[in-house]
Amino acid sequence: MTDNSTIKAFSSAGVTTVDLVVIVIYLLLCLATGIWATWRTQRGSISGYFLAGRDMIWVTIGASLFASNIGSGSFVGLAGTGAANGIAVASYELNGLFCLLLLGWLFVPVYIASGVFTLPEYLKKRFGGQRLQVYMSVLSLIIYVFTKISVDMYAGSIFIQQAVGWDLYTGVIVLLAISAIYTISGGLKAVIYTDTLQTVIMVAGAIVLMVLAFIKVGGLEKIYVLYPEALPTPLIDNSTCGHPTDEAFHLLRDAVTGDIPWPGNVFGISILSCWYFCSDQVLVQRSLAAKNMHHVKGGSILAAYLKILPLFTTVFPGMISRILYTDQIACVDPAVCKIVCDNEAGCTNIAYPKLVVELMPEGLRGLMLAAMMAALMSSLTSVFNSSSTIFTMDIWKRIRAGASDGELLVVGRIFIIALVVISIIWIPVLQASQGGQLFNYIQSVTGYLAPPVLSLFLLAMLWKRTNEKGAFWGSICGLIVGLVRMGLDFGYGSPKCGEEDTRPSVISKVHFLHFTIFLFFFSMIVTIVVSLVTKPVDEKHLIRLTWWSRHSTLTREPYPEEILWEEKSERLKASQALKKGTTGEIPTWRKVVYMICGYEKPKEITRTEEEKLEQIRLLTHIKEDPNWKLFVNLNALLLMCIGIFMWSFFA
């Protein structure tokens, strides 16, 4: 580990007292917002804690979608890959614009109509049985540890290390402590409200830095001239390492030799983005918390407009950082890189932090540090809440069928702590992966695990003939193939600059985005074939669970195993209530645990069957006012035109 004095030797600026005051004020404001939201949350209610009582409006939904997506991993990763290879990495953001519209218009109406809390729960209702629900729950948690929590903690540590010279883990632990207070106690509502505050901070800080960076380099035209000339010294003999690609200013690149080949860009990135926004619990959970469909779509539209920004606020500044600090950002000699950023694989990941520390004036530097902390905290809190939801509702309830609401809420909070520990252990593994480019690491792991998931959800919603056997074997076969490729990738690692690439052709010649396309269609074909040769699902079980039946007013008939499970759960709850006695006195130790975890016992409310049915109807209501429907549809059309223009201009 490089000591602090060595790190500071590469920075002419430091964090001043004014910067620290700005950071402290921000953190206190963020903490106050989280605590305020916590007290407004129905903390004794499953719906209140995990879905914010389903009363969020479009502004908070859109801000939370954006803040959850653009975390510190994105700031560091997008800018770092931009510094290394140019603007093609912005394709992830521009594709995300269209996928956010798919979220609001195609996927969420089905999720809400089905009345579920989590996506694994949707699979259980759609197909019956338990194995798909458990499989998806475990896979989601694995993906969160490998591509979200550990990545954001690592990215945050890079920024803090470059800015203030703290040890890799010290700053992260401080931020984790603050994030955990309101996430563990307040649930999704606290997360969404703080996300809204953090979005304002992130966007404002990023725009300020973008303006300063463009002024420093001399404008956009200067980037086109100077970026190809940003060659580090020393270069490695007889090697093109450190030379910017000739396609640096193109989104669409050569299908074979391009670092992001155009088939992978158009189709592979679309698959990854669609999975991320439409079938990943972290993002979908925000939309499930909306008041109604107008707010769902309005939130998607706001987040999609914000997705236009990262190309200009993150990717181009990353390229400017390479121009201004070429020998450090673009270093190719492992010995030099080790000194600069403590990573022999490369130092492009410090492009954005370096820019902040060097360019931001006193006070504004503190604002940008606060913005990066906001990015880290918003991403972590989002994943924490969604992970605890999945573990509690889809795994713990399988283990403890008669678990009370109090037990579920406490278990969900405790699980967050376990996730943090596992993620910290994984950080050293990702440091040297994918040539030191953090964003490539995130996308490659996602490309090995996510395509079968998207294939499953699309078929579940759009093809009623899909059955449980087809869905399960399609998912398992896709997972096995993806894990084999991921194991080979991490097993062989990425060759350092100047080293001969001795990896098998399936890794060295097949880009991970091309593999993503193959894996998606492979899983889909297996699912279709197995479904066709096995018994179809009776349509009485599919009411309001597919796109075609989402508006149905008929009553869905549960699968037999669903009924048996509910009966078992009710019997266990009744048995536990009997053991407590008629007074319902809670043991002292449990009162202490509830107080620490912020759980308040729900008030007993007696409802008639008619009132229960009305509550279910309100939670699954997806009808829209014609005027608002026209308004959001026109906005969606405008967004698609903007997206098409951006692709055409930079392609």
Contact call for residues 107 and 278 (beta carbons, < 8 A): yes
Residue 359 CB neighbours (<10 A): 22
Torsion over CA: 358, 360, 361, 366 (sign): negative
Contact call for residues 191 and 382 (beta carbons, < 8 A): yes
Residues 543, 555: Cα–Cα separation, whole Å: 7
Q: pLDDT of 460-486, one tens digit each?
A: 999 999 999 999 999 999 999 999 988
Residues 445, 145: Cα–Cα separation, whole Å: 11
Residue 522 CB neighbours (<10 A): 19
The band of 139, judged by pLDDT with boundaries at 50, 70 and 90, is confident
H or E element that contains 61: helix 58-69
Residues 158, 147: Cα–Cα separation, whole Å: 16
Q: pLDDT of 246-288, one tens digit each?
A: 888 888 888 887 778 899 888 999 999 999 889 887 788 778 8
pLDDT exceeds 50 at position 524: yes
Q: Smallest Cα–Cα separation from 233: which of 326, 335, 321? A: 326
Q: Across the strands, what pairs with 290? A: 56
Which SS3 state, helix, strand or coil, does residue 494 take? coil
Q: pLDDT of 92-133, one tens digit each?
A: 889 989 999 999 999 999 998 888 877 888 888 999 878 887
Contact call for residues 184 and 413 (beta carbons, < 8 A): yes
Output the domain CATH number for residue 105: 1.20.1730.10
H or E element that contains 607: none
The band of 459, judged by pLDDT with boundaries at 50, 70 and 90, is very high
How high is the pLDDT of residue 7?
38
How high is the pLDDT of residue 400?
72
Residues 396, 405: Cα–Cα separation, whole Å: 12
Percent of the chain's residues with pLDDT above 70: 71
The band of 551, judged by pLDDT with boundaries at 50, 70 and 90, is confident
pLDDT exceeds 50 at position 186: no
Domain with 96 in it: 4-650
Q: In which residue are the tokens 């009582």 written?
A: 53
How high is the pLDDT of residue 52?
42
Which tops the pLDDT comparison, 436 or 401? Answer: 401
Q: Smallest Cα–Cα separation from 82: which of 323, 261, 284? A: 323
Q: Smallest Cα–Cα separation from 158: which of 329, 381, 312? A: 329
* Count of domains for the chain: 1
Residue 627 CB neighbours (<10 A): 8
**CB burial class (10 A; 0-12, 13-18, 19+) of residue 634?**
exposed
Q: pLDDT of 18-53, one tens digit each?
A: 887 887 787 777 667 666 665 655 444 444 444 444
Q: Which of 86-90, 282-286, 359-363, 533-537 has the highest mean pLDDT?
A: 533-537
Mean per-residue pLDDT, 132-139: 83
Residues 249, 225: Cα–Cα separation, whole Å: 11
Contact call for residues 371 and 207 (beta carbons, < 8 A): no
pLDDT, the chain, mean: 77
How high is the pLDDT of residue 586?
61
Contact call for residues 74 and 314 (beta carbons, < 8 A): yes
pTM of the model: 0.80
Contact call for residues 296 and 628 (beta carbons, < 8 A): no
pLDDT exceeds 90 at position 573: no
Q: pLDDT of 586-612, one tens digit each?
A: 666 666 655 554 445 544 445 555 545
Mean per-residue pLDDT, 449-464: 94
Q: Across the strands, what pairs with 56? A: 290
Contact call for residues 190 and 41 (beta carbons, < 8 A): yes
Q: How far is CA 15 from the centre of its chain?
A: 30
Mean per-residue pLDDT, 218-239: 83
Q: What are phi and psi of 538, to 5 degrees?
A: -65, 135
How high is the pLDDT of residue 50?
41
Mean per-residue pLDDT, 443-450: 85
Structure tokens at 182: 């309101």
Mean per-residue pLDDT, 494-518: 79
DSSP readout, 12-42?
S----HHHHHHHHHHHHHHHHHHHHHHHTS-
Which SS3 state, helix, strand or coil, does residue 253 take? strand
Q: Which of 89-103, 108-122, 423-437, 520-534 has the highest mean pLDDT?
A: 520-534
How high is the pLDDT of residue 382?
66
Q: In which residue are the tokens 């604002």 written?
A: 367
How high is the pLDDT of residue 436?
46
pLDDT exceeds 60 at position 543: yes
Count of alpha carbons within 13 angstroms of residue 435, beta-carbon side: 21
The band of 529, judged by pLDDT with boundaries at 50, 70 and 90, is very high
